[in-house]
Structure 1
C-alpha cells in the first residue's frame, strides 16, 4: 500500500522515480480505508532531504500511511526554503488537539550542545509530554533518542570524546521481539553522533528492552516494554552518500574529522560509497508500523486513551 503525501511535496517525484507507490491526497480522498496517521517532527536542517529519506522507509509496508510534517518552531531556516515550510509543515498548535497512530522525531545536529541550551528544548518537552496521551507509538532517532532518555528516564547527557561516524556491525539481543522480526543475527547500520549509548549503562538505569547492540557503537535499538517508545540511535534512513557529504563538509570547515569507519570501498574517500544497510532499515520501519503502531492503535483515533495501554501492560 502507498504512503499518502501532499500532491506537490518534492519527495513525491523522487520516490516515484524509485518506483515507490506514492498516493496524492486527491486520490486518497476517494478510497474508503482508515490509513495510519503518522506525524514526523523534522529537526534536521536539510528538511527536504530528511523527509524524503523517512518517507522512503515508511513506504515499504502493506499499510496505507498518511503523513503529516511538523516543525519545531517558526524560526527561519537556513537550509530549507520558507515557501516549502509554509506549504507542507504544521505548527504544533495546529495539531495538538488531534491524535496520531505514530510519531517520528528525527535527529538533530546538537550533539555538543547541552539540553538546556537548545533553543527549542522546552517546546520539545511539551511535544513529548503531549505524545503520551495523543500518540500510540513514538520513534526517537539519534539525538532525539538521547533527548527522550533525559525526559523519560532523567538520564544525563552522555557525550563521546570523538564523533562516532561510519557503518557498524550489530547483533540482535532478543531474537523474537516484534521489532526484530526477520532480522539477521548480525546487520549493518550507519551512525553519525557524539551521543554515547553505553549498553551496560542503559541496562542498569532503565527498564528498556535492549534489542540490538554494537561493540563499537553501543545500543542501536531499544524499546519500552509496551512498545510505545522506540529508540534508534543510528540513521537507518541515510542515503548512500549522506555520511560522505557530512564528512566532506567537516573537512572543508577544517574540523579534521575521522574518516567514516567501514564506509568507503578500500577505505578510500575517492571511491563512491555503497549503502549496506537498506534492507534492515526498511525492515525496522515496517516492523515498527505493524507491531508498534497498527497492532496497538485504536481503529477510531478519537477513542485514544493512555489508560488503555496501561491496562494492557497490567
Structure 2
C-alpha cells in the first residue's frame, strides 16, 4: 500500500527508486478504507533527509497513509531552504484543529541545553499536551523522547562525559510487547546523543515500561500507555551512512569525536559501514502502525475521544 505525501517533495523520487509505493496529493484517495493520518514534527537540522527516512518506514507498511509535515510555528530553521518549508510544511498553529492517527516528534540538536532554555520549548509543551486530545498514538525520537518524558513525567536528563555514538546491541525487556513482535533477541540500533535518561528516574505507578535497553547506552524504547506514546531514545530510523556523515562533519569542523563504535568494519572509517538495523526499523514502525490501525477510531473526529 502507498504513502500519500505532498506532491513535489524530494522524498518522492528517493522512495520511488527504492520501490516504495507513493501517492501524491493529486491522486484520488482509495474509497474502501480511509487513509491513516500521520503528522511529522520535524525538528532535525537536515529536514529533507529526515523526511525520507521517516516516509520510507511509513510507506513500507501495507496500509495507506497520509503524511503531513509540521514545523514549530514561531521558529525559523537555519539549515533548510525557505522555499522547501513554504512548499511542504505547515506551522503547528495551522493544523492544531486537526486530528491524527499517528504523530512523530523527531530529535533535535539542542540536547545539551536545559529544556526550558530551548527557544521553542513553550510551543513544544503545548504540542505534547495537544497530542493527548488530537492524536491517537505518538512516537517520539531521541531528544523528542527525552522532551516528552520530561514534560509528562518530570524526568531529568544527564549529560554524558563522552558522546554515545555508534551501533549498539540492545535487548528486549518485554518480549511479549506487540511493538516488539518479530524482533530478534539482540537488536543493533544506532545511537547518537550527548545526554541520557535513566530508568531509575521513571516515577512509580506511571505505567511506563522499558521495552528495550542496552548494557552500554541504557534505555532505548519505552512504552508510555497513559500518554499513548512510544519513546525511542535512539535513531533506528537512520540511513546506513547517517552516523558516518555526522562523524566526518564533526571531524572536519575540528570537534573532538571518536569513531562510532561497532559501526565501520574493524572500526576503520575507511571502510563502508554495514546496516544491521534496517529490518528492525521496518518491524518497529510496522508494529506501531498495526497497533494504530487496530485501535484508532473509524471516524477521524473521534480520535482522542474513543480510546
Normalising by structure 1, we get a TM-score of 0.94
Task: Structure 2: state its 5+ residue gaps.
Answer: none
Runs ≥4 residues deviating over 4 A: 203-206
In the other structure, the counterpart of 1:120 is: 120
Relative to 1, partners in 2 of residues 1:107 and 1:294: Cα closer, same or farther, differing over 3 Å? same
In the other structure, the counterpart of 1:297 is: 296
Matched positions, count: 307
In the other structure, the counterpart of 1:255 is: 255
Distance 1:248 1:50 in 2: 18
Q: Would you say 1:9 and 2:9 are equivalent positions?
A: yes
In the other structure, the counterpart of 2:179 is: 179
Task: Structure 1: state its 5+ residue gaps.
Answer: 310-314
Cα pair 1:4 1:28 within 8 Å, conserved = no
Distance 2:133 2:267 in 1: 47
Q: Secondary structure at the match of 1:25?
A: coil
Cα pair 1:146 1:195 within 8 Å, conserved = no
1:61-114 CA distances to partner (integer Å, 9 max, x unpaired)? Answer: 111110000011354432211111001000112111111101000000112111
- By how many angstroms is 1:217 displaced? 1.1
Relative to 1, partners in 2 of residues 1:124 and 1:206: Cα closer, same or farther, differing over 3 Å? same
Q: What is the alpha-carbon root mean square deviation over aligned residues?
A: 1.6
1:178-257 correspondence runs (5 A): 178-202=178-202, 206-225=206-225, 228-257=228-257
In the other structure, the counterpart of 1:73 is: 73
Distance 1:264 1:251 in 2: 16
Indicate the larger mover: 222-231 or 102-111: 222-231
1:103-153 CA distances to partner (integer Å, 9 max, x unpaired)? Answer: 000000112111111000000001111110000001100001110111000
1:84-163 correspondence runs (5 A): 84-163=84-163
Cα pair 2:75 2:120 within 8 Å, conserved = no
